[in-house]
């Protein structure tokens, strides 16, 4: 009772439930399973041992005002679990792909828009939403109904709280409070589960204090990160900040005089009134 195109490519031991649709050009790797009412659209590639639950649509067209005539595709790695009613959309342009890594868990009703890139072990919990071109690092965690703006980056092992509205980059290893969408410390639970040593956690704490508690000017803060934390996990901070284009999420208890870069919205008078004088305007 499923409809599987003769032009789809299926590996060994693939299981397809009733009322599924597998379109021409779709690829299902060895050991994949589709529960009932799953749609795998053209341009979608599933690696090995991916398990897709009821009502999910993989490879849908991008939600864009200018619908592309020749969209890209979607590529999944191995060992992912895609729960009920998840939607993952194709990239906007031919030759590009929305990418999901290995061992990810996308829970009920999550949405991954066009041109997103998820690393390995990412968890998106119920009703969380990624807009287009979002990048999520390995083992990052987004709690229920968190929403991420276009082109934002979520760093490795970051934890984003439920109902957060992420409009700027989230550095690796930190926790974002869902109520304020601000940094409230390191993701200690995630670091422990990832097997970080006490020395590595201490290094991350020292780097965290440099970023959020030193009140150094922006360029000086990045220079200190590069010079004092050139190895270990804390070495990821400087390249992450150097590559930012949207600004970065502030700490909830940022000290007076701190210069964490923001994207200013000149139309938001309330937000401007609450910014410290020293906060820098993001170039461009």
Q: 115 an active-site residue?
A: yes
Instruction: Give 160's strand partners.
Output: 142, 176
Q: Which of 73, 132, 190, 247 is catalytic?
A: 132
CA atoms within 13 A on the CB side of 174: 29
Q: Which of 60, 77, 97, 115 is catalytic?
A: 115
Q: 114 an active-site residue?
A: yes
Q: What six digits make up the tokens of 83?
A: 């729960």
Q: What 3-state class would DSSP assign to 203?
A: helix
Q: Which of 97, 114, 155, 169 is catalytic?
A: 114
Q: What six digits make up the tokens of 87?
A: 């939607």
How does DSSP classify residue 234? G
Cα–Cα distances in Å, from 101 out to 12, 105, 113, 132, 205? 21, 10, 15, 17, 28
Burial of 116: CB neighbours in 10 Å, binned 0-12, 13-18, 19+ = buried
The per-residue b/e assignment along 128-159, b for 16 or more CB within 10 angstroms, e otherwise, is bbbbbbbbbbbbbbbbbbbbbbeebbbbbbbb
Do residues 170 and 188 make contact, with C-beta atoms less than 8 angstroms apart?
no
Catalytic residues: 114-115, 132
């Amino acid at each position: 009772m499923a409809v599987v195109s003769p032009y789809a490519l299926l590996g060994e031991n693939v299981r397809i439930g009733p009322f599924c649709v597998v379109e021409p050009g779709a690829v299902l790797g060895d050991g994949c399973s589709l529960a009932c009412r799953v749609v795998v659209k053209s341009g979608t590639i599933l690696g090995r041992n991916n398990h897709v639950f009821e009502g999910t649509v993989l490879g849908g067209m991008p939600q864009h005002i200018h619908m592309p005539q020749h969209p890209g595709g979607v590529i999944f790695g191995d060992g992912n679990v895609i729960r009920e009613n998840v939607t993952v959309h194709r990239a906007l342009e031919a030759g590009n792909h929305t990418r999901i890594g290995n061992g990810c868990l996308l829970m009920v009703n999550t949405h991954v828009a066009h041109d997103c890139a998820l690393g390995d072990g990412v968890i998106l919990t119920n009703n969380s939403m990624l807009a287009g071109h979002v990048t999520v690092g390995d083992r990052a965690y987004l709690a229920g109904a968190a929403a991420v703006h276009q082109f934002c980056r979520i760093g490795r092992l970051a934890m984003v709280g439920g109902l957060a509205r992420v409009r700027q980059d989230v550095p690796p290893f930190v926790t974002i409070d869902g109520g304020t969408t601000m940094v409230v410390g390191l993701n200690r639970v995630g670091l422990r589960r990832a097997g970080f040593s006490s020395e590595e956690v201490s290094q991350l704490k020292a780097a965290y204090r440099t970023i959020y508690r030193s009140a150094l000017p922006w360029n000086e803060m990045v220079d200190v990160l590069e010079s004092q934390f050139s190895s270990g996990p804390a070495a990821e901070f400087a390249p992450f900040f150097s590559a930012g284009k949207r600004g970065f999420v502030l700490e909830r208890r940022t000290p007076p005089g701190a210069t964490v870069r923001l994207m200013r919205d000149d139309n938001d008078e309330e937000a401007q009134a609450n910014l410290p004088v020293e906060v820098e305007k993001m170039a461009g």
